[in-house]
Amino acid sequence: MSAVLKHRLFWPVAALLVLLLSNLIFTPGFFNIEVRQSHLYGSLVDILRLSAPLLLVALGMTLVIATGGIDLSVGSVMAVSGALACLYIVHQPDQGAPGTIIVACLLGIAIALVLGLWNGFLVSVIGLQPIIATLILMVAGRGLAQLITEGQIITVNSPGYRFLSAGYWLTFPFAVILAAVVVALTVVLTRRTALGMLVESVGGNPRASRLAGVSSRTLIWGVYVFTGLCAGIAGLMATANVSSADGNNTGYLIELNAILAVVIGGTSLAGGRFSIAGTVVGALLIQTLDTTIYTTGIPAQTTQLFKAIVVIAICLIQSPAFRAKLRRRPAAPVAPAPAAPSKAEVSL
């Protein structure tokens, strides 16, 4: 039992289960899953389907954070990639043609890769702090996306493009399959090869890794490109879901949700270790929270309040300093103990 309690995924998984179960109070048939016309239907399937973009973005973010970096530009990259794909589709005579959709998706992914290369270049070659390097694209990318859409909302009329988000393949939602494939490939690439360990070593200490013969620069550059790719695919999914591209709102605040998902999953923001399983749980938790708030009829915008509480709770539980203080003075757990002035601090 204590082994289960101590597992780093215990709290996130427990929170997810509690949240799912609490849905039963408001929606009795919450756990029902049925097959209609060989399509899976049900609230759980919806949560999976809607969490696909966030899951992809959070996956890229996990690797970036594992190298000790952060990528704030993912939302903007999503907006740019989705906008470009939609722009291409509306200018074609046949919006539903498979060729059109494939070219549109490739265009969206290509621009996302270019933006990822740019971020990686700033961080690994020029040596800017990741937070500021990606802040540049976070601000400018929104402008770029609006430039592409000319400030309008581009609406596409293409069932084929919509398939990316709402389509079904082999009874499963296509978006879920796509996200699952990307996650599986990443797990294989990072955990079945040395890649994951190298990423962690760069996050732990870039200088020591370089001296040990790890090409930190290429690796760091690579993870930003990967995050760009993930954000690009997510951008296609998000715009396909609403059949339109809005430079202002596509992927809005997703960087924060993705970081949240990563942190909930137990990946340390300081870098040096990561857990893809944790990120998956984190992303599902956030989407479940959103869906739960919707179904309970509480104003949707107050989700942020619950997210804040979840972040604070999970961060406190994961904080060694907080645990130590809990243990030292169990009588008054909330009151912060006055720190001894001579205590040496290591800034994170």
Partner 1 sequence: MTIDLEAETAAEAVIDRKRRTLTIRKYVPVLGTLVLLCIMYGIGIANYENFYNTQILLNIFIDNAFLLVVAIGMTFVILTGGIDLSVGSVVALTTMVSAVTLNHGWPAPLVMITVLVMGSVLGFGMGCMIHYFELQPFIVTLAGMFLARGLCYVISTSSIPIDDPTWITLSQKRIPIGSFSITPSVIIAAIIVVIAAVVLAWTRLGRTVYAIGGNQQSATLMGLPVARVKIAVYTISGFCSAAGGLLLSFYMSSGDPLHAVGMELDAIAAVVIGGTILTGGSGYVVGTVLGIIVLGLIQTIITFQGTLSSWWTKIFIGALLFLFVLLQRTVVRRTPS
Question: Contact residues for partner 1 (CB under 8 A)?
Answer: 70, 126-129, 131-133, 135-144, 146-147, 150-151, 247, 256, 259-260, 263, 269-270, 299, 301-309, 311-312, 315-316, 319-322, 325, 336-337, 339, 341-348
**CA distance linking residue 132 with residue 123, whole number of Å:** 9
Question: What tokens appear for 75 in the block?
Answer: 């939302």
- Dump the DSSP string for 252-302: TTHHHHHHHHHHHTT--TTSS---HHHHHHHHHHHHHHHHHHHHHTS-GGG
- The least distance separating partner 1 from the CB of residue 136, rounded to whole angstroms, comes to 5
Q: 331 or 340: whose CB is closer to partner 1?
A: 340
Q: What is the DSSP letter of 140?
A: H
H helices of 91-215, in order, are 98-120, 130-149, 159-166, 174-191, 195-204, 206-211
Using alpha carbons, select from 86, 130, 119 the residue that is nearest to residue 269: 130
Q: Which one, 104 or 133, has the nearer CB to partner 1?
A: 133
As measured in angstroms, the least distance from the Cβ of 163 to partner 1 is 30
Could you tell me the maximum CA-CA distance found in the chain, to the nearest angstrom? 72
Nearer to partner 1, 38 or 301 (CB): 301
Minimum distance from residue 210 beta carbon to partner 1 (Å) = 18
Select 242 or 315, whichever has its Cβ closest to partner 1: 315
CB atoms within 10 A of CB 88: 20
Q: Give dist(CA 344, CA 348) in Å, integer.
A: 13
Minimum separation from the CB atom of position 343 to partner 1 (A)? 7
135 vs 180 by CB, closer to partner 1: 135
The Cα–Cα gap between 40 and 34 comes to 6
Shortest CB 327 distance to partner 1, Å: 14
Closer to partner 1 by Cβ: residue 1 or 335: 335
**Which of these, 51, 93, 111, lies nearest to 245 by C-alpha position?**
111
Phi, psi (degrees; rounded to nearest 5) at 246: -125, 110
- Inter-residue contact 178 to 233 (CB < 8 Å): yes
Q: Of the two residues 101 and 144, which places its CB atom closer to partner 1 in the complex?
A: 144
User: Shortest gap between Cβ of 333 and partner 1 (angstroms)?
Assistant: 12
Question: In the complex, what is the shortest distance from the CB of residue 220 to partner 1, in angstroms, rounded to a whole number?
Answer: 16
Q: What residues contact residue 30 under an 8 Å CB cut-off, 6+ apart?
A: 20, 23, 24, 43, 44
- Min separation Cβ 177 and partner 1, Å: 31
Q: How many residues in the chain?
A: 348
CA 35 to chain centre: 29
- Using the minimum distance from each CB to partner 1, give the nearer residue, 212 or 316: 316
Closest CA to 80 of 37, 43, 42, 118: 118
